[in-house]
Amino acid sequence: MNKEEQVLKTLNPDFGQLRLTSTMLNKAIIDANTSIRRFAKLFGIDFEQMVNGDKKILNAFYEDGTSCKLSFYRTIARADRRLSISGIKKHAEEKDLIAFDYVADAITGELAIVVNVTARAENRKVA
């Protein structure tokens, strides 16, 4: 088991994950893969119920406590399912594995956390 896999084992069972590409970092265009769509449903965001042009925003945090917004949306023309993560360029690099974890929060119910799995596995500082 590699170090990234060890980090993933510490997360909740329904975490989302993706490996960042330069397009994801530079253009903020991220396809919402199956794990991302499953994660979004934990917060009441269902891509299957969204119509072209719909956008849902989830307030989240990076592991260092910096707040961010996760924008889940359907494109207008083709209804592609997408995700945008505010501030991601300050918290990750190309080829990093990013995971979306969650914790129970006494006030809001649940809280989303963006985890840089690669940086944690390598004990690398980000931001």
pLDDT digits (tens, 9 = 90+) for 22-63: 999 988 889 999 999 999 998 899 999 999 999 999 999 999
pLDDT of residue 2: 87
Distance CA 70, CA 48 (A): 18
pLDDT at 61: 92
Q: Identify which has the larger pLDDT, 60 or 14.
A: 60
Write down all domains in the chain, each with its CATH number in brackets: 3-121 (2.40.330.10)
Q: Are strands 16-19 and 67-74 parallel, antiparallel or unpaired?
A: unpaired
HSE-CB of 93 using CA atoms within 13 angstroms: 8
Q: What is the pLDDT of residue 84?
A: 95
User: How many angstroms separate the first and last alpha carbons of the chain?
Assistant: 27
Please tell me the predicted confidence (pLDDT) of residue 40: 93
Look up the pTM and report it: 0.89
* Residue 16 pLDDT exceeds 70: yes
In angstroms, the Cα distances linking 26 to 9, 77, 94, 124 are 29, 21, 10, 21
119: nearest Cα among 64, 67, 65: 64
Over residues 61-114, the pLDDT tens digits come to: 999 989 999 999 999 998 899 999 999 999 999 999 999 998 876 666 668 899
Amino acid identity of residue 123, one-letter, is N
Kindly calculate the radius of gyration of the chain based on its CA atoms and give it in whole angstroms: 14
Cα torsion at 89, 87, 117, 46 (round to 10°)? -120
Q: What is the pLDDT of residue 37?
A: 95
